[in-house]
Amino acid sequence: MRISISVSSSHATTDAQTGARHMIERAKAAGDVGLEALFIGDHHVTAFNYFQNNAILGRMLAGWSDKPYGALYLLPLWNPVLLAEQIGTLAALAPGRFIMQCGLGDQQQGDGMGIDMSKRVGLFESSLKVMRALWAGETVDEDKYWGLKGARINPVPLEPVEVWVGALVPKAIERAARVGDGWLAAPNLTHNQAGDASGRYQDACSKHSKSPSATAIRRDIFIGATTEEAKAVVQPYIDGGYRGINPEALMFGSPEDVAGQMRQFADMGYTDIVVRNISTDQNEALATIERLADVRALLD
């Protein structure tokens, strides 16, 4: 089981510099304990501080390791030439390979950015096809969705960009198997739902004769020194309706508890757990990241 981190880009504080500093500190802590990959998310048109992925990732890489890194992109919201260029530059900033997580986005973000989201599946698939061609050094024309003529980029990534497609419903999971290198399961899946979804993805990969590079799931996490401490910290978040996620889909407890929960996902066929901090308190978030070293030792 590979353990990676998605550093939360959402910060309620009005002090943007503090939020950015917290992200940088969490990325360095994750690198220090040897986590397998560093990720951040993608969200737009927000009423709260949300640090945009390409800019903050470039800064975070200064403290990251030589392991893989990347970000989530809601592809219909991005011009594919611009995004391919940005990822080409990011892929040159550190020695690890770049992993692009990607999804569709929602209506509110599309409305705020002037995107016709009724076409989002077509925009998504076309964007992915265009970017892969650009990363391969090709010159691209595309007139159905993006109106591209003679598009090309530099620098191109030295290694192929690995693509994980985020998907929840059956049709989207089938699409992830068809067009992606790997799959990222939704963070709100309960244990039973995660098992069913993994089986669905594996069946779809067999149908398309694909051997995925990753079968990943994101878990929002808190690790305490003891089970009791973890429950005490997490309960107020649960009582507040934490991100609308079913409490059964949260991962928390002592290092031994969390290692046991991760083993269950490995038994379902998941190869990667991508963790995100539940606690907004920086000391608690950093302590959780540091305790992931204990979890990794228990899993070895």
Contact yes or no for 286/228 (Cβ under 8 A): no
- The string of pLDDT tens digits covering residues 39-96 is 999 999 998 899 999 999 999 999 999 999 999 999 999 999 999 999 999 999 999 9
Contact yes or no for 99/164 (Cβ under 8 A): yes
Contact yes or no for 255/294 (Cβ under 8 A): yes
Say what the pLDDT of residue 11 is.
80
Say what the pLDDT of residue 296 is.
96
Between CA 9 and CA 46 the distance in angstroms is 12
Instruction: Give the end-to-end CA distance of the chain in Å, rounded to a whole number.
Output: 9
Say what the pLDDT of residue 12 is.
72
Between CA 63 and CA 187 the distance in angstroms is 26
| Residue 176, burial from CB neighbour count under 10 angstroms (0-12, 13-18, 19+) | buried
Say what the pLDDT of residue 213 is.
97
Kindly state the percentage of the chain with pLDDT values over 70. 100
Q: Specify the amino acid at residue 274.
A: V
| Residue 113, burial from CB neighbour count under 10 angstroms (0-12, 13-18, 19+) | middle
Q: Is the dihedral of CA 245, 246, 252, 257 positive or negative?
A: negative
Note if the bond before 155 is cis, omega within 30 degrees. Answer: yes
Say what the pLDDT of residue 152 is.
98
Q: How many CB atoms sit inside 10 A of residue 265's CB?
A: 23
- Which residues of the chain carry a pLDDT beneath 50? none
CATH class, domain 2-299, is alpha beta
Between CA 213 and CA 182 the distance in angstroms is 5
Q: How many CB atoms sit inside 10 A of residue 193's CB?
A: 16
Side-chain half-sphere exposure of 53, counting CA atoms within 13 A: 24
Q: Which residue has the tokens 């990822």?
A: 87
